[in-house]
Structure 1
Amino acid sequence: MTIPPATALAPEHGLPGHLVDFVSALRRHHVAVGPGETVDAARVLGALDLLHRDQLREGLAAALLRRSGQRGTFDALFDLWFPPALGAGSSDVDVPRIDDESGEGTGPVDVDALREILADLLRDGDEETLRELARAAVDAIGTSGAAGQGVRGQTAKPNWSAYQALGALSPDTLLARILDGLREEGDTDFVSEVRRREIRDRIARFRDVVREEVRRRTAEQRGREQIARTTTPTQTDQVDFLTANATQLADLRRTVQPLARRLASRLSARRRRSNRGRLDLRRTLRRSMSTGGVPMDPAHKVRRPGRPELVLLCDVSGSVAGFSHFTLLLVQALREQFSKVRVFAFIERTDEVTHLFEPGAELSGVMQRVLREATLTAFDGHSDYGSAFGDFLEHHGDALTPKTSLLVLGDGRTNYRDPNLRALAMMAGRVRHAHWLNPEPERSWGSGDSAATRYGEVLPMHECRTAAQLTDVVQALLPV
């Protein structure tokens, strides 16, 4: 397989300009790359053989990435700026075609024969040839519109389609045939299951390669920047809680522990900087008498560090549950920063669920346990903030003390019911600090049945749509 040199991709600017364009694309997708990292990447380009694409990928990743969760974005952009081929590329795989009237194999693609080739490659695990087959298949059968007469008589360009290519090949339907060919007498159930999973993984990788090839060919037609805007995966900490799918939420949950460690280290640094306390003006002036009134030896007030109690009041209804779950996991990982943590969940009614988040508790499926074991509904199961606040004050008001920090998690959508601002004001008046974390964008506050703007007049409300925003807010609210 021939890999195009990087200089062929940007002849106007050469390799340095091409690298700068790549770095700019990373920055547009929230990957922080500074001048130092860019210089390091330039040295990598000068030290590596550009024809060894895998080495180039790893070298640039080592030079440019500084945080976890950025690799998916980097790989997607790398494939656009340093593609494995240009145009149809070259391949050692010949696409079989049906004989035409003259007896020559120049007719339509023989899909059945192509599927046989695919089955053999999947069985043998030849990754390189599978990639070449994917490229050849996309070029042969991966167009959703044939080239014809376009605007003003120009030849229309085909629309590349991974759906059409994969639909014709149907690689998933080859699994049983491949396993039958690999089955040997005396195979145990364990061996059969391992072999099944291996073939499934190869099929999944082939599907990914087809999609990558379609993405590359489309980028050549429409421009890298346009395709990058629409197809580059969002970094984990930039995923919107309210629109995240199950896979993204699972990725978010995996980032909780690293995020908590990072926040704890930042808190330690803040404490080191402030461990001397505030300036004690009176003692400083007294000391200055021995130096003729010059304050040569400043005195500081003795700090009395204390870890406050934390109370979390969480809406666990609908899509807000994903945001509440992630925040609860983050706080659970940071619980050593507080003397006591109590967790209350609500929908229409409020119930304490602290025991589900105690140290050592099993946190997988914890939200399902909250919904199953806690008493949260009374009528129709829709969020009722006013009723939940009143219920909290009536049954759990003793949880709020002058040492308590209160965090309310929710979108503030009351389903047009009484928001009960008076109850929220009473709660905020009993505690040391009170804040509201809202997963909706600020522009949506107050729209429809949202009482967020009215609640924001009672206590500070913070937009926390993503893990990055939540990190900044939690870092600012953590005790010093």
Structure 2
Amino acid sequence: MNLLDRTVEFTAALRRANVPVSSAETVDAARAVGAIGWADRDALRAAFAATMCKRPLYRSAFDSLFDLYFPPRIGDGVVLPDEGGPAGEQQPGEQRNGDPSELTPQEIEALRRAMRDQLRDALLDGDDEKLRDLARRSVSAFGAAQNGPGQRSYFIYRVLRAMSPETLIADLLAAMLGDDDRGGLEERIARQTIADRIRAFEEMISSEVRRRMAEERGIEAVERTAVKPLADQVDFLRASQRDLVELRRQVYPLARRLATRLTARRRLGRAGRLDFRRTVRASLATGGVPIETKHRPHKPHKPELVVLCDVSGSVSSFAHFTLMLTHALREQFSKVRAFAFIDTTDEVTRFLRGLELGDMMARIASEADLVWFDGHSDYGHAIEVFAEKYPDAVGPRTSLLVLGDARNNYRATSAAVFRRLCGQARHSYWLNPEPRSYWGSGDSATTAYADLVDEMVECRNVEQLQHFIERLLPT
């Protein structure tokens, strides 16, 4: 396969990973490569990234696939001496027969200690080249396992268990800091530096394992698991703690856009009060017939918002996201009231002020009154309690935003009460983290609620939330 064919396959892989790359951008990439050549791999990566990555969001997927389709080396990457020529210097972990499994347990332990000493020095110096070389050799030495005759698999956890970079933190801190620097800003900076370098080394190991597995099984078999979903396509119900950290960064600009759209929708959706004098004056041009009425402009204002969040265990990751969104929205609206519920409802607005997000979630879990009977979702009772305890929460200037999966455990829906709340609100929207194909199945009460709100929206990830926000303002 020539390099042009490999470039075309790389473009197809990016598209499969939901990175949009047009044909024109592929041509631009080929022209850029024609200008800089193939000899410098880092320059090649930069050229492809500049022409194919429209947003920083796509860079992680791009880098993972680039390393698969344009690997820095083949096999163990060991340059063997020519027959009869001088042998090159052999590093620990590089076996001339290519089979580290032939070492005795004592030799393996000695090799592990030697490589850990090298890792400590490389982390202390921050030498990326040495770290890449150590990642390659550690995968060769500790990551392989025989699956059968002539078949090998590589495992990241085996390499990390052997190298244990996190156990070197104490030694690295002792080498980087003096006794006077302990416990202060210098130590915090040093710890962060060490953590960043260890994380980079772990990613180098992951990349090396993916490259080896691509050689063993084929690129197509590995790329499906090598590329993580884009941050804006991570399913809220399956989001990990690391995913939630990335979501937090995306939530605040979305909150600003949502506030802007709701304000514009209110401004366009209802005319101001009739201006009688301007209407009469305009009618003089049509013989005194008021064909066109004139209205006073709206007074500028920020809309009011009421958020009703399901925080039950079945939607725990989505609940984290909804609370992040609510926390961000409080800066964009003149008045935000937040209510959480499981089988009863409590106002949690007081937890939004002056708290970090983690502290806010911890206090809601420990202090809010969210369980009435058995701690399983009961939308009907939660809606009744909300309407009874907080009758002034929803008014004609309020946008009501409900966030939950509507899984009601076959209990009463209190649809009549919810209809009245939606009728009192200026707007009412429901964001549902379940796929639309699941709505109405089992104990889902979406059929009872969907027709009562302005719109019930499938909102499984940030991308769908963005589309919902874009639809709020008519084109």
Distance 1:116 1:248 in 2: 35
Does the 8 Å contact 1:33/1:64 carry over to 2?
yes
Distance 2:313 2:449 in 1: 20
CA deviation vs aligned residue, 1:203-230 (integer Å, no higher than 9, x gap): 4433332221111111122222221112
Distance 2:171 2:212 in 1: 31
Does the 8 Å contact 2:311/2:340 carry over to 1?
yes
CA deviation vs aligned residue, 1:119-141 (integer Å, no higher than 9, x gap): 33223324323322332332344
2:139 pairs with 1:145: no
- 1:178-189 equivalences under 5 Å are 182=175, 188-189=181-182
Aligned equivalent of 2:117: 120
Compared CA separation, residues 270 and 20, structure 1 to 2 (3 A): farther
Aligned equivalent of 1:111: 108
Compared CA separation, residues 136 and 335, structure 1 to 2 (3 A): closer
2:18 pairs with 1:30: yes
**TM-score, with structure 1 as normaliser:** 0.78
Does the 8 Å contact 1:38/1:64 carry over to 2?
yes
Does the 8 Å contact 1:98/1:107 carry over to 2?
no
Aligned equivalent of 1:238: 233
Q: CA deviation at 1:464?
A: 0.4
Counterpart residue type for residue 28 of structure 1: R
Q: CA deviation at 1:199?
A: 4.9
Q: Aligned Cα RMSD in Å?
A: 4.0
Q: CA deviation at 1:237?
A: 0.7
Counterpart residue type for residue 111 of structure 1: I
Distance 1:271 1:388 in 2: 28
Q: CA deviation at 1:343?
A: 2.0
Secondary structure, counterpart of 1:397 in structure 2 = coil
- 1:252-291 equivalences under 5 Å are 252-260=247-255
Secondary structure, counterpart of 1:215 in structure 2 = helix
Compared CA separation, residues 46 and 392, structure 1 to 2 (3 A): same
Aligned equivalent of 2:92: 95
Q: CA deviation at 1:462?
A: 1.1
Query: Structure 2 stretches of 5 or more lacking a match?
Result: 80-88, 273-278
Distance 2:42 2:50 in 1: 12
Does the 8 Å contact 1:240/1:465 carry over to 2?
yes
Counterpart residue type for residue 75 of structure 2: G
Does the 8 Å contact 1:111/1:169 carry over to 2?
no
Aligned equivalent of 1:437: 431
Q: CA deviation at 1:338?
A: 4.8
Does the 8 Å contact 1:337/1:479 carry over to 2?
no
Q: CA deviation at 1:319?
A: 4.8
Aligned equivalent of 2:74: 86
Distance 1:263 1:64 in 2: 29
2:345 pairs with 1:356: no
**TM-score, with structure 2 as normaliser:** 0.79
2:374 pairs with 1:380: yes
Secondary structure, counterpart of 2:400 in structure 1 = strand
Aligned equivalent of 2:420: 426
2:60 pairs with 1:63: no
Aligned equivalent of 1:413: 407
Query: Structure 1 stretches of 5 or more lacking a match?
Result: 1-9, 149-155, 291-297
Aligned equivalent of 1:151: none
Distance 2:70 2:296 in 1: 56
CA deviation vs aligned residue, 1:80-133 (integer Å, no higher than 9, x gap): 122111222236653369999xxxx99526323322332332233243233223
Counterpart residue type for residue 41 of structure 2: R
Aligned equivalent of 2:85: none
CA deviation vs aligned residue, 1:212-254 (integer Å, no higher than 9, x gap): 1111111122222221112211111111111111111111011
Distance 1:300 1:50 in 2: 69
Does the 8 Å contact 1:138/1:214 carry over to 2?
yes
CA deviation vs aligned residue, 1:16-48 (integer Å, no higher than 9, x gap): x32232222222222222344333322332233
